[in-house]
Amino acid sequence: MRWNGQRLDVDDGALPGLERSGVLRSVRTPEFDGVTFHEVLCKSALNKVPEESALPFRYTVNAFRGCSHACRYCFARPSHEYLELDAGADFDSQVVVKLNIAAVLRKELRRASWRREAVALGTNTDPYQRAEGRYRLMPGIIGALAESRTPFSILTKGTLLRRDLPLLRGAAESVPVSIGISLAVFDEELQKQLEPGTPSPRARLDLVRAVADAGFDCHVMVAPVIPFLTDSVDHLDALFGALSAAGAAGVTAFPMHLRGSTKGWFLGWLAREHPALVRRYRELYGRGAYVPPEYRRMLAERIAPLRTRHGFDHASGHRDAAPAEQVAAAPPIRRSPEPTLF
């Protein structure tokens, strides 16, 4: 394997050095066509968020590396390069699975020094991507967090979350639990192109309804908004309306950013599928990873009346409910005097 001997703990400290623990095995099965699972034993589970971060959580837990949801814009793609895997097709198809993560987490949460700070799940890979159906790591993780009275949040595109709603309801009786669903592409054809491994928009709307019916405030990340593809008033209006009807408690939206190797992966796809947009993207992203302030302003102004129309005004400050992969994708607050979320 190409990454034998690599220091897998380079970026999040949660993976073993393979030279010490080793990949237990690499698995391909007919049910997961084209995906290889690399099963490993991790040495730590909690990843500390840097002190200077403005994110509303201090720790993250990621049971997987890589994500078969395969979103073209995924900001986590470059993290796969630490494994000497590529940030494109390998990120989608070479998924590292931390088999022992629940046991390791439970041990870490029992330490006397643990302060029960908020833990976010879904910050770097989706905890309910298809692999979770095979490995069932989340029930153990949820159980460990609840037993230790640690507040936590989950962000996902995966409808498999529904399986764990009873467990999450039970956990919420003893600790604060926030659930967020990511749904930003309401056009099904476009969703299949942009997020080819994800459940359909309709399935995720049903999930929003199921989460709300289970008694949770379901926050929805309408993010990232993809310039000239999902940022029209018509698209956003239809999506906000559907989310409101499905019982979403709040929405957060912000434009796509393209950092590191994600940029080349996304723009390669754009050139193949939407060549007419390439020039406009050069204007938007030609000088960096973030859209210019004028675009951010335009989008904020476009979204504000839609929030009002669909009854989401009250949720504008509802950030804690959506500590999310895409929250991490917002540009650092230092870079712009404008709010990073709206």
* Least distance from ligand SF4 to the Cβ atom of residue 233, Å: 24
Region of residue 40 (left: phi > 0; alpha: psi -120 to 50; beta: else): beta
Binding region for ligand SF4 (CB under 6 A) out of 3-11, 65-73, 145-153, 199-207:
65-73
Which of 67, 120, 306, 330 forms a contact with ligand SF4 (CB under 6 A)? Answer: 67
Which of 44, 79, 100, 125 forms a contact with ligand SF4 (CB under 6 A)? Answer: 125
DSSP 3-state assignment of 18?
coil
Query: What's the CA gap between 47 and 43, in Å, rounded?
Result: 11
DSSP 69: T
Binding region for ligand SF4 (CB under 6 A) out of 9-17, 71-79, 134-142, 273-281:
71-79
69 in contact with ligand SF4 (CB under 6 A): yes
Total residues interacting with ligand SF4, rule: CB under 6 A: 10
Residue spans of beta strands (DSSP E) within the chain: 23-27, 36-40, 47-48, 59-61, 64-65, 94-98, 119-121, 152-156, 177-182, 218-225, 250-255
126 in contact with ligand SF4 (CB under 6 A): yes
132 in contact with ligand SF4 (CB under 6 A): no
* Least distance from ligand SF4 to the Cβ atom of residue 301, Å: 26
Q: Specify the residue, 106 or 134, whose C-beta has the smaller distance to ligand SF4.
A: 134
Considering only residues 135 to 194 of the shown chain, the ones binding ligand SF4 according to CB under 6 A are: 157
* Least distance from ligand SF4 to the Cβ atom of residue 168, Å: 19
Q: Are 82 and 20 in contact (CB under 8 A)?
A: no
90 in contact with ligand SF4 (CB under 6 A): no
Considering only residues 306 to 335 of the shown chain, the ones binding ligand SF4 according to CB under 6 A are: 325
DSSP 60: E
Which of 35, 46, 61, 74 forms a contact with ligand SF4 (CB under 6 A)? Answer: 74
Token pair of 291 as six digits: 């859209």
Q: Which residues are within 8 A (CB) of 50 and not within 5 positions of it... i.e. 6 or more apart?
A: none
Q: Specify the residue, 90 or 126, whose C-beta has the smaller distance to ligand SF4.
A: 126
Token pair of 103 as six digits: 């046991």
- CA 104, 110, 113, 118 torsion: positive or negative? positive
76 in contact with ligand SF4 (CB under 6 A): yes
Is the peptide bond preceding residue 337 cis, with omega within 30 degrees of 0?
A: no
Query: What's the CA gap between 108 and 131, in Å, rounded?
Result: 24
Q: How far is CA 267 from the centre of its chain?
A: 20
* Least distance from ligand SF4 to the Cβ atom of residue 325, Å: 5
Residue window 205-244: x/- pattern of binding to ligand SF4, with contact defined by CB under 6 A: ----------------------------------------
Interface contacts to ligand SF4, rule CB under 6 A: 67, 69-71, 74, 76, 125-126, 157, 325
